[in-house]
Structure formats: C-alpha cells, structure tokens
Amino acid sequence: MTKTVVLDDIDRRIVAALQRDASLSNAQLAEQVGSTGPSCWRRIKALEAAGVLMQPIRLANPESLGYGVNVLCSIRMRSHASESIEAFEEFVRSHPQIQECYCMSGEWDYQIRVVASDVSDYEHFLMRTLLKHPSVAGAASHFALSVTKYETALPI
C-alpha cells in the first residue's frame, strides 16, 4: 500500500491547480498559488519524486473522436489462478478501448469501462474479443445513457 504524503497549503494549491490545467507555465502557476517561480518548480519536482504528481496529459473528448458509447462491463473469471489473472490483466492493458479496469469484491471479479463508436462496435468487441478470452467465464454489460459527472481531479 502506498504511503500517504503530507502536503502543506502551497503543495495542495499546486496539485489542485495542475489538476485543473496542466498546461500552466511555471510563472502562471506560481502566481496562482502565491509562490515564487523557483520555489514552485522545486515543489513540483518534489511532488513528482514523491509520486503525488504523475505525467501531465490533455484529455480528449470521446464523442468528438467517435466514441459515443460508454459501457460498464462486469466480468466473471473462469479461474482465479495467478496465470489466469495475469493473462486477463495483460489482455486489458493491450486493448485501448478498455479505459478503466478494477478488480472487484463481491459477485463479479472485474469491472471495466469500455468506449465504442456504437452498440454494434461494442457487440463486436464483446462477442469476438472479450468473451473469447480463455480466462473470462461471463460478462454483464450496462450502457451509460448519459454522463452526469466525470472528474479526473482528486479532491485536495
């Protein structure tokens, strides 16, 4: 388990600001958080070294790229042997349409979020790819009708 990093007020403001806009220049960020440029830069490097800040990214709008269908899919495994788990998790990492994957407690073993261009595209992925994997015993799909909330920023 990862150890929690203790942040002071300026560190919290830096993390919050960068979660909102990773394209801020160091000078803009320093002004926003009430720090100097060199101090801000040192803090960012320390936060990266501590594993608090990961790589900066730009989020793409899925619908503008043709991914209008968002599916939550619950997966039941045939076996819980380490080889089966490793093979399934490698399968998940190798398919970019699987956006998220969580190992779950309860009735289902995994929960994945899949993006697709349409229902037919998802059905093709489900029937010809996911359910063909030797580790997968079954799946239940739930189509998102709309997105009420989608956040990438953690509360700071």
Domain-located, residue 150: no
Residue numbers of the domain that contains 41: 1-59
How far is residue 136's CA from residue 132's CA, in Å, rounded to a whole number?
7
**Domain check: are 82 and 40 in the same one?**
no
pLDDT of residue 3: 82
Tell me which residue of 25, 54, 62, 50 sits closest to 40, measured CA to CA: 25
Question: Mind listing the pLDDT tens digit of every residue in the chain (156 residues)?
Answer: 668 899 999 999 999 999 999 999 999 999 999 999 999 999 999 999 999 999 999 999 999 999 999 999 999 999 999 999 999 999 999 999 999 999 999 999 999 999 999 999 999 999 999 999 999 999 999 999 999 999 999 999
Backbone conformation region of residue 51, classed left if phi is above 0, alpha if psi is from -120 to 50, else beta:
left
Residues 76 and 126 in one domain: yes
pTM of the model: 0.87
From 59, 81, 96, give the residue that closes a domain: 59
- 47 and 4 share a domain? yes
Q: How many domains does the chain have?
A: 2
pLDDT of residue 49: 96
Q: What is the pLDDT of residue 1?
A: 61
Distances (CA, A) of 22 to 28, 32, 48: 11, 13, 13
Q: Are residues 120 and 136 in the same domain?
A: yes
